[in-house]
Amino acid sequence: MVVGIIVDQMRQEYLYRFQDKYDEDGFKRLMKQGYNFKNTHYNYVPTYTAPGHASVYTGTTPAYHGIIGNDWYDKTQGKEIYCASDQSVETVGSDSHRGKMSPRNMLTTTISDQLILSSQKRSKVIGISIKDRGAIFPAGHMGEAYWHDKSTGDFITSTYYRESLPKWVSDFNKQKRPDYYLSQTWEPLGSLENYIESGKDNVVFEAPLNKDTPDFPYHLEKGDYWMVTDTPFGNDLLTELALSALENTDLGTDDDTDLLAVSYSSTDYIGHRFGPNSKEVQDTYLRLDKNIAALLTALDEKLGKDNYLVFLTADHAIAEVPSYLVENNVPAGNFEVSQIDGLNAEISARFGDGKWVENISNHQVFLNHQTLKGKKIELKVMQEFVAQTVLKYNGVSSAYPAHVIGAIDFSGGGVTGMLVRGYNQKRSGDVLITLEPGWIIRRKTGSTHGSAYTYDAHVPLLWYGSGIQKGISYEYKTITQIAPTLSLMLDVMLPNGSTGQPLLELFDEK
């Protein structure tokens, strides 16, 4: 059995920054007894949740699998779409719209799909997460996915997968565990004075959860299920679902390899709200450490220590809060989107009145190609003009016309190489923008991610279990190497769009 764990928004440094306070059976067990790739990175932009999950399990980047963001502007429909949205399916497990989802926007297969294909559909694949996209893309096109409905507190799926919830999910929902957590108070596991690995508890650039100040304790309120997922209790809830899957299904009990994909989302919600230097983030990871330990213990008991394989990574990391950096004399800033709002006017001043810009999203400018044709303006000329124009905006580091990106070698390094690997010709925009290091799109509080810089791209990668020797590597690796490694370990075909190479250290017979 393979268990893939993705921790949403986990920096690689969290393994070491908080390790003195971790127990021995969670992260430390994976680090001390498994193989630790300390220099693992995302090799494309944008570094968001949906493309991150898709890239880990497809072994390729948005250029091929097509998941270029959590949302993106669809040039054929002329509107923004959600990465997993599918209006042809219905919700299973509630009456809300939150189940109208599927993996159909992902253009390639995953290691999950290849596992199922190789066994003539005998292998079982289950993806679970608080976020729909965190469950759907790892499960691939042929597995099953279950995610949390914040309107009801239940886990749901869609008719893409099945017409009714399996008994183990229905039984879990009947326990009403979110209601239990809403009666709890989020207090730190230990004394805040001992949380010396993080900053002050109450600072102006953190966003309060459900009161006026961003400091402990946080009393949850019944009926507001988002409060479960926006606290560490969301990770507790997902761990309980994972344990239920192990206990009440036949995962890992026959001759065909199965896969359980677990994606922890609450770390992302908390990190966005409070920032990576917060007491809340530290407490979240100390609690997650216990969740990982509980999952490993359950695997030991059901399958035996030598009968399962675990990998743990993240879908992206996070930038430091710019206000905090500026306060400490480090160059950083908040990019004012209003600068770009005047882009159409600047184009009109040069080329005449018209609707030149269709959409600006994901650090990309989508031009109106019909206007260009009507005005007989060459696309390359307009791309070049827009790129030079946005370079004047405060906080912009570089701007690349799409025709330039399309001509750069896919294997190239630096920011341009990451842009190429994140650029999908059918779905991406006409001009790609990068901000200066330390800069993010304007947020009054908290922080975000999405850039090509190491604070967003450097993530943990731990392997543990069957066939894994203890070891450590400091060589540069990419997350697109995970799926090819699994393919060769399991003797199945690589995902059909895979561009990564296997992690050879894991195959060293010595």
As annotated, the active-site residues are: 49
Q: Contact at 8 Å (CB) between 156 and 99?
A: yes
Q: For residue 151, what are the β-bridge partners?
A: none
Residue type, 413: G
Which tokens sit at 355? Answer: 């609707």
Which tokens sit at 310? Answer: 């675990």
Q: Contact at 8 Å (CB) between 244 and 172?
A: yes
Dist. CA 270–CA 10, nearest whole Å: 11
Q: Contact at 8 Å (CB) between 422 and 51?
A: yes
Dist. CA 242–CA 383, nearest whole Å: 48
The counts of H helices and E strands in the chain are 21, 23
CA-based R_g, the chain, Å: 23
Q: How far is C-alpha 325 from the geometric centre of its chain's CA atoms?
A: 24
Q: For residue 6, what are the β-bridge partners?
A: 263, 313
Q: What is the DSSP letter of 26?
A: T
Alpha helices by DSSP H, listed for 47-108, are 49-58, 62-65
- Cβ atoms within 10 Å of 442's Cβ, excluding its own: 15
Which tokens sit at 9? Answer: 């928004």
For tokens 């917060």, the residue is 278
Which tokens sit at 137? Answer: 């893309």
- Cβ atoms within 10 Å of 95's Cβ, excluding its own: 11
Which tokens sit at 93? Answer: 């497990």
